[in-house]
Amino acid sequence: MSAKVCLLAFKAVCLRALLFQIIFISTSPTALGFRWNDDLQKVVKFGDGFLEKPEDVCVDKKGTFYTVTRDGWVKRKHRHGPWENWKKLGGNSLLGVAMSNDGHLLICDANQGLIKVSEKGWKLLSSKVNGKKIRFADDVIQASDGPIYFSDASTKYGLSDWTYDVLEGKPHGRLLKYNPYTGHTSIHLNHLSFPNGVALSRKQDFLVVCETWKFRCLKHWLKGKLKGNTSIFVDNLPGGPDNINLAPDGSFWIALLNLRTSGTKELVLEGVEGKAMVVKVNEDGKIIRKLDDSRGKVMAFVTSALEFEEHLYLGNLNSTFIGRLNLNKNT
C-alpha cells in the first residue's frame, strides 16, 4: 500500500472518530425540547427550476430579490417580474449576499473574496488580508456607517475540502473588516470555529457571527460601554448555524445544518441534506420559534432564512428554488 493511500485511510478513520465525537458531545433537537413540526413542508417553490442551489437571498428597498446560484449566476427578480439571469460571475463558489449602502450587491465568493456587483458589472473589493489570500469568504453585511464585515470560514481549507476543517476541529476562521473608503481589509476577530453567517443588530451596536462547528453564535459589541467585547449569544443550538439574518422585529433568523445525525462521513455529506431547520432568536439569544422539515420532504439543506413582508425566504443547497413561507398562515 502506497504512503498516499495510507494517509488517505488514516484521514478517513480520523474523520469518522471526530464526527462521532460531534454526535456524542452535541444534544439532539428532541432532547433540547424541540419537537418536529414540518412547517417548512408548506413552502411555495419560489423560482422553481430556475435557481440552481441558491445559497443565500437578499432584497433591496424596492422589493427586488437577488440570489446567487452554484452555476455561477447572480439571479434577480423585480417585484412584479419573473426571475432573470442578471450577472454571470462564473465558478461554483458564490455564497453569502447582502445589499450595500449604495444599493448595489455584495457577494462572498469563497475562492476569490469579497465582490461588489452593480448594473455596470462587478469588482473584486478584497482578496487578501495582511498580504495573504482570503481562502474561504463566506457571508457579508455592511454597517450603516460604512464598514463591511465578512467571514473567512477557514484560513487553511477552502470550499473544495472544507470537511477537513471539521477533521482538525481547530479555530482556523476569522471575521474580516473592509473599509470601503480606503480599500483596506483587516482582521476584526480571529480564531473562530468555521465562522459562517454574519448579521448586525437592529441598532447596529453589536453583530452576531455563527460558529458552525460549535453549534453556537457569538455576540461582538461594536458600540457603547461594551465595545470590543465578545460573548456567547446563543449556545447548544439544535444544528450547526449557517447564515443569519436580522428580522424586522429585531430578532434573528438562523438556518441550521443537520449535523446531529448518526453515521460516519454521511454526517457531513448526507446528513445535512436529510432535514431542514431554522430558528428565530430574540435579541437576548433566546430561541422563540422553530420551523422545520423533519424528513426533508420539501425543504432540505437550508442555508439561509430571510424575512420580508411577513414571508420567510429560504436559501438552500438541495433544490432549484427558494422556499417561500407565509409566516401568518402556515405556522
If one counts every other C-beta atom within 10 angstroms of the C-beta of residue 146, the result is 11
Taking the complete model, does pTM exceed 0.75, yes or no? yes
* Pairwise CA distance, residues 29 & 23, whole Å: 12
| 236 neighbors 29 (Cβ within 8 angstroms) | no
Give, in order, the Cα–Cα distances in Å from 242 to each of 77, 95, 199, 272.
Answer: 24, 11, 11, 11
Closest C-alpha to 211, from 237, 229, 186, 246 = 237
Each residue's pLDDT tens digit in the chain (331 positions)? 444 444 444 444 444 444 444 443 455 555 566 789 999 999 999 999 999 999 999 999 999 999 999 999 999 999 999 999 999 999 999 999 999 999 999 999 999 999 999 999 999 999 999 999 999 999 999 999 999 999 999 999 999 998 889 888 899 999 999 999 999 999 999 999 999 999 999 999 999 999 999 999 999 999 999 999 999 999 999 999 999 999 999 999 999 998 654 444 444 444 555 799 999 999 999 999 999 999 999 999 999 999 999 999 999 999 999 999 999 986 6
Closest C-alpha to 158, from 245, 73, 92 = 92
The cell for 223 is: 458600540
* Residue ranges covered by each domain of the chain: 3-326
Q: β-strands 128-129, 276-281: how paired?
A: unpaired
* Pairwise CA distance, residues 317 & 323, whole Å: 11
- Topology (CATH level 3) of domain 3-326: Neuraminidase (2.120.10)
Angle at 305 between CA 312 and CA 166, to 5 degrees: 160
Strand order in the sheet with 113-118: 94-99, 105-109, 113-118, 121-126
Backbone angles phi, psi at 255, to 5 degrees: -85, 135
- The SS3 of residue 165 is helix
CA dihedral (201, 210, 67, 148) positive or negative? positive
CA dihedral (177, 284, 57, 38) positive or negative? positive
